[in-house]
A and B are shown apart, each in its own frame.
Chain A
Amino acid sequence: MNQQPTTNNQQLLTVEQVNVFYGELQALFEVSIQVGQGETIAIIGANGAGKTTLLRAISGEVPVKQGQINYQNKATRGVAAHQLTKLGISLVPEGRKIFPSLSVSENLKIGAYSNRKGPWNLEKVYQLFPVLRERANVSGTNLSGGQQQMLAIGRALMNNPDLLLMDEISLGLAPIIVKDIYNVVKDIARSGTTLIIVEQDVSRSLQVADRVYCLLEGRVSLQGQPADLRPEQISQAYFGV
């Protein structure tokens, strides 16, 4: 199941046989994934399957104990999170993590801290999420949940990322807002940005993803293109039954 195709230059990111520990607790077991340039990858799995840990390992927030992560054909092990951000990896973190003492516009500007060149700027983000312009001078934490999620996505876009990681962006939001946000995600994907989306909502992620990886108890239990995967296959990989 875990057979790897040979890495080629089209791969933006490869994760090879990665083990991650929290203290002495192992969270990821020899996880391998490949992400091609411009692809949208969905990572699905139950609570505690290791999805967030995988994103945090890719973004440099948790150290990789064994195995290797290559980004743009360079090994990222030991590279600090803030340096990876400068190299174009942006994360929309679980729980949004809006800076409370910064206003909405300041939260966006801080996203551009690394001064990376690219299509996104304050004006473009405001066009994408007009409500943020209306509330530009409000403290970021005074927004509604959906608006905060937009702010978190906008903030990550301000870095003009080559690889955008999104963690549970639908969590706790009303279905109608989730739909709006996923329409924006599709736009972002269409613009050529490579995406990795972590999601518990399987059907939602199957709609946007080119390929899917399912994690079960820290291991890759299934991978493939949405069209090739049968529902019972997915539920088996998801629940392990």
Chain B
Amino acid sequence: MLKSEITPVVTDIPKLRRIPERWFALISGIVVVVLLTGPLWAGAGLMRNAVDFLSYLALAQMWNLLAGYAGMLSIGQQAWIGLGGYSLFVVADDLQLPLILGFVMAGIVAAVLALPASWLLFRLRGGYFAVGTWVIAEVFRLLVTNNVEWLRGGYGRTLNVADFDPDTRELVTYMLAVAIGIGATALVFWLMRSRVGLGLTAIRDAEVAAGSLGINTNRMKLFVYVLCAGVTGVVGALIYLNQLRITPDAAFSPQWTAFMIFIVVIGGIGTIEGPIVGTIVFYFLREGLTDLSEWALIILGAIAVITMLFAPEGLWGLLKRQFSLEVFPISRWLPVKSSEKN
């Protein structure tokens, strides 16, 4: 601290030690192989845990993309989980179509309904945008509960998937979870390395300036909003394939979004590693506090608030600063000595 106070002109930017890309590819490859071969070596309990973990990871990645990278604070992501879950039930049970189509439908339904929602929400800013997303989710919950008879929302319903024996179902669920968890992370990684990532960072840092530089801010935000809704919808299908029973109150519960937010905030908002770290922390905390659901939420909430107050960059941010490390190679540097940080 003191030293930097005396240095008049910045010459030493904290250089991030980036893991060489070859290594990164190798490590990612190993992780993917380990996960994919899970059924060969892992027990049923571990696999069930992995499904849970990967669902939360995917949710957190999407919320982080939305809020951390694009600056849109949503507290209504449960809308897409609920819609995705119900889409699966309708396609797989009511229409008797293949399960995988249910997942595709979940994504499509959520993404398509996100369009009119965004049309309304993009008139709001900041905190009012946030509450607006909640109202949208509430509208969907109320419609599903009371107004759409063929969804049989009112009392909840159970997924029949009669053509599966439990073992096959668990295997399918697991494989889908691996695909979705890794897919969501890879999607954010790929997006942030593309032109979209650059534009998003510009929008988050200075929306007006970004607009004046020719970035179509509204189109880019719309793209991210709809994409996040779609993927979150797919995760919703995964969650309810795993749980087999759905009710509007549970599927459209704000608690889903609370979990996403706590995971991302604790792990580190605005980084790809953050949601991963956050999901691990969340997972262990939840396992440790299973019988105390209220206490678990109070403790999670308190940790998130404390993180925001004292270490807004989250756990990963602290680690990154300690070891100057970046795992996912996405940050960009100007060559030579730049005066830009981050």
Kindly list chain B residues whose C-beta atoms are within 8 Å of the C-beta of A24: 10, 339, 341
B287 interface residue (CB < 8 Å to A): no
B8 interface residue (CB < 8 Å to A): yes
A135 interface residue (CB < 8 Å to B): no
B160 to chain A, nearest CB (A): 61
B3-17 vs A, Cβ < 8 Å mask (1 yes, 0 no): 001101110000000
Report yes or no: B5 in contact with A25, Cβ–Cβ below 8 A.
Answer: no
Query: How many A residues are at the interface, by size bracket?
Result: under 10
B1 to chain A, nearest CB (A): 13
B319-341 vs A, Cβ < 8 Å mask (1 yes, 0 no): 00000000000000000000101
Report yes or no: B9 in contact with A65, Cβ–Cβ below 8 A.
Answer: no
Residues 1-35 (chain B) with a chain A CB within 8 angstroms:
5-6, 8-10
With beta carbons under 8 angstroms apart, the residue of B5, B8, B341 that contacts A26 is: B8
A66 to B10, CA, bound (A): 15
With beta carbons under 8 angstroms apart, the residue of B8, B339, B341 that contacts A19 is: B8
B283 to chain A, nearest CB (A): 38
A24 to B339, CA, bound (A): 7
Report yes or no: A25 in contact with B339, Cβ–Cβ below 8 A.
Answer: yes
Residues 1-20 (chain A) with a chain B CB within 8 angstroms:
19
A64-97 vs B, Cβ < 8 Å mask (1 yes, 0 no): 0110000000000000000000000000000000
A25 to B341, CA, bound (A): 12
Kindly list chain B residues whose C-beta atoms are within 8 Å of the C-beta of A19: 8
Number of interface residues of B (CB under 8 A): 7
A19 to B8, CA, bound (A): 9
Kindly list chain A residues whose C-beta atoms are within 8 Å of the C-beta of B339: 24-25
B71-94 vs A, Cβ < 8 Å mask (1 yes, 0 no): 000000000000000000000000
Kindly list chain A residues whose C-beta atoms are within 8 Å of the C-beta of B10: 24
**Chain A: which residue is nearest B340 at the CB level?**
A24
B2 to chain A, nearest CB (A): 12
Kindly list chain B residues whose C-beta atoms are within 8 Å of the C-beta of A25: 339
A158 to B16, CA, bound (A): 53
Kindly list chain A residues whose C-beta atoms are within 8 Å of the C-beta of B341: 24
A26 to B339, CA, bound (A): 11
A64 to chain B, nearest CB (A): 12
Residues 52-70 (chain A) with a chain B CB within 8 angstroms:
65-66
Kindly list chain A residues whose C-beta atoms are within 8 Å of the C-beta of B5: 65-66
A30 to chain B, nearest CB (A): 10
Kindly list chain A residues whose C-beta atoms are within 8 Å of the C-beta of B9: 26
Between B5, B6, B8, B339, the greatest number of chain A beta carbons within 10 A of the residue's beta carbon is seen for: B8
**Chain A: which residue is nearest B5 at the CB level?**
A65
**Chain B: which residue is nearest A29 at the CB level?**
B8
B130 to chain A, nearest CB (A): 26
Residues 225-245 (chain B) with a chain A CB within 8 angstroms:
none
B10 to chain A, nearest CB (A): 5
List of 5 A-B pairs having minimum Cβ-Cβ separation, nearest first: A24-B10, A24-B339, A26-B8, A19-B8, A26-B9
Interface residues of A (CB under 8 A from B): 19, 24-26, 65-66
* Other A-B pairs, 8, CB within 8 Å; known A65-B5, A66-B5: A19-B8, A24-B10, A24-B339, A24-B341, A25-B339, A26-B8, A26-B9, A66-B6
A sample of 10 inter-chain contacts (CB < 8 A) reads: A19-B8, A24-B10, A24-B339, A24-B341, A25-B339, A26-B8, A26-B9, A65-B5, A66-B5, A66-B6
